[in-house]
Structure 1
Amino acid sequence: MLIGQITDIHLGFDPDNPAEFNRKRLDVVLRHLCEPHNRPDLLLVTGDLVDRGDAESYRRLRNALSACPFPVWPCLGNHDMRANFIAQFPDIPVAEGFVQYEIDTGPLRFLILDTLEEGRHGGSFCETRAAWLAARLTEKTDISTVIVMHHPPVEVGIDWMNTHPEEEWVLRFARTIAGKPQVKGVICGHLHRPIVAAWNGTTVTICPSTAPQVALDLAPIDPDKPDNRPMIVADPPAYALHRWNGRELVSHFDTADEHVMLAKYDASMQPLVRALMAERPD
């Protein structure tokens, strides 16, 4: 099974511009994903769907995603607004006022979480949301499960974007999934970078954004002393493909720009392919 992921679209950053930069970046990623080569079975869209939470940007996003020839399943990030999202995406399930729901594909189960606290940049995961997740994790314990949410629960070292490991919502989330071996991974966005980390006995995978990326700078930052470091960079729009092989979730990251081909599978490369595959057990 092949799972696509895009994140941090920030549509509407340039409001009233139908040809805005972030829309162009989204469209080129969707074109890549819709091509037959590496086309996913479903697409996860992991938050910050729009930049200002406005209804018009959600309408434009819905139109952009409607061309996808596979199911599309979104969750909310800190730039989103629940009421406007729900109005434009009425088919997405809601649980007790939060955009939380289950996707059961047969070989793999996804639990989509809502980590939005409107007005706060970082994540949130209250008792109501935790109780919903706990109830779902007591069901179908024999089915491999992936948790999908916007905010990563792991500290990654980019100081101004970090999640502190002692934040209340992180501790609550960690308690909720503790001792649940069916959880095979946590898929997130928010950081605008490709990152993979071991965390509390599982793997957290963070997808780079379709919008511009966050610069990689692991030096401490002083909120009282601007130092002119780069913060946002115009690296190409990106996406992830997660392959479920029946045992593990294997994640790949790619950009949607042009790749210069240095070799192709022709007769000259056939001996190498045969030799590599001959080394594997039957």
Structure 2
Amino acid sequence: MLKIIQITDLHLTPPGIQHIGCDPRQRLEAAIASINAEHADADLVVFTGDLAALGQAAAYRQLGECLAKLKLPFQLCLGNGDHRARFRACFPDVPTDENGFVQSVTEIDGQHLVFLDTLAADGDHWGELCDARLLWLNDRLGEIDGAPILLFLHHPPFRVGIPLLDSLALKNPERLASVLAGRNIRHMFFGHLHMAIAGSWQGIPLSVLRSTVSQFALRLGVDPAARSLEAPFYAIALVSADSVVVHFHDYTYEGPLLEYTPVPSVIVDDEAIAYSFQKASAS
């Protein structure tokens, strides 16, 4: 079974600068420590964009120092908080396409993982897949030719019911839909929204992950949007021939773990059985 960790929206800053009340590097280091301790058997860790908050070179240097502690192979994608040239200067070995976009394909155990670069040319917060990037994607999918595909990108191409976030989605999503039509896309993994969301788009299953820093509050139809300080997540995707299962892990949780006692499988006519079980469980 293929095991993939997803982390997103790190919003790293230069040393000493916080992001919405927290230290982004500290949050990332906690995630990496958790992954090293709990998921050392994973095949890959994918970072789905907004690696930096404002694309500063010092933020990418912080990222490099943190990644040096990660004991697993990793893949880096770009989001709207990133600066492509500065990123590539700090990470010259990261795979790119022939046009310099941070896009690549890798195969693990028969699954083809495709990583897209949705950073807009004008540096704005919405997502973009230009003609060159879509042509590259179409060519790569043609080479894969029906084999199972897992797709990783920062910007979702769909609406989620929060006006601000919907205005910052991937532009011209119908163009991406056209390229993906008829392909064996098993799952799409997104960042950008700072929320835990699951569903489907164009019939393709998808999941969206919380940030390692702040989140967006679930206020459907409300403008302006609001931030929240809900717990950060990373995701663990377990991929087999017949399923893709995505777990969301609150890696900063420090509360107790309570031993689970199974509920009686049959509650017969005598309700005393239920009361006895509840009393024993509460003690």
Task: State the partner residue of 1:16.
Answer: 15
CA distance in 2, matches of 1:252, 1:163: 28
Identity of aligned residues (%): 35
1:171-182 maps to which residues of 2 (within 5 A)? 171-180=174-183, 182=184
Q: How far off is 1:22 after superposition? A: 1.1
Which residue, 258, 263, 280 being the options, matches 1:262?
Answer: 258
In structure 2, distance between residues paired with 1:163 and 1:239 = 25
Task: Give the match's secondary structure for 1:120.
Answer: coil
Q: Which whole-Å CA distance do the structure 1 matches of 2:187 and 2:248 have between them?
A: 16
Matched-pair contact (CA < 8 Å) for 1:237–1:255: yes
Runs of 4+ residues over 6 Å off in structure 1: none
Question: How many angstroms apart in 1 are the aligned matches of 2:145 and 2:205?
Answer: 18
Give 1:248 shift.
2.0
Greater Rg over alpha carbons, structure:
2
Note if contact 2:127-2:168 (Cα within 8 Å) is conserved in structure 1. Answer: no
Question: TM-score, normalised to structure 2's length?
Answer: 0.85
Q: Distance in 2 between matches of 1:244 and 1:37?
A: 15
8 Å Cα contact 1:154/1:197 also seen in 2: no
The residue type paired with residue 62 of structure 2 is R
Residue 154 of structure 2: which of 146, 150, 153 is its match? 150
Q: Is residue 47–residue 189 contact of structure 1 (8 Å, CA) maintained in 2?
A: yes
- Alignment-derived partner of residue 133 in structure 1: 137
Structure 1 residues 93-172: aligned runs within 5 Å:
93-95=95-97, 96-117=99-120, 118-162=122-166, 168-172=171-175
- Kept in 2, the 8 Å contact 1:152–1:204? The answer is no
Alignment correspondent of 1:280: none
The answer for unaligned runs of 5 or more in structure 2 is 266-283
In the TM superposition, 1:220-239 aligns within 5 A as 220-221=222-223, 231-239=226-234
Letter in 2 for 1:16: P
Report the equivalent of 1:73.
Answer: 75
2:155 and 2:71 map into 1 onto residues whose CA distance is: 27
1:195–1:206 contact (8 Å) kept in structure 2:
yes
Q: List gaps (5 residues or longer) in structure 1.
A: 273-282
Deviates more, 1:16-25 or 1:48-57: 16-25
**Superposition deviation, residue 163 in structure 1:** 5.1
2:33 and 2:116 map into 1 onto residues whose CA distance is 27
> In 2, are the aligned partners of 1:156 and 1:163 still within 8 Å (CA)?
no
- SS of residue matched to 2:210: coil
2:199 match: secondary structure = strand
> Aligned partner of 1:246: which letter?
A
Equivalent of residue 51 in structure 2, options 43, 46, 49: 49
**2:15·2:62 contact (CA, 8 Å) conserved in 1?**
no
Map 1:266-277 onto structure 2 (within 5 A): none
Aligned length: 257
Match for residue 276 of structure 2?
none
- 1:174–1:200 CA contact under 8 A, matched in 2: yes
Distance (Å, rounded) in 2 between the aligned partners of 1:106 and 1:163: 37
Alignment of 1:246 with 2:245, yes or no, is no
Q: Give the CA deviation at 1:202.
A: 0.5
1:86 aligns with one of 78, 88, 106: 88
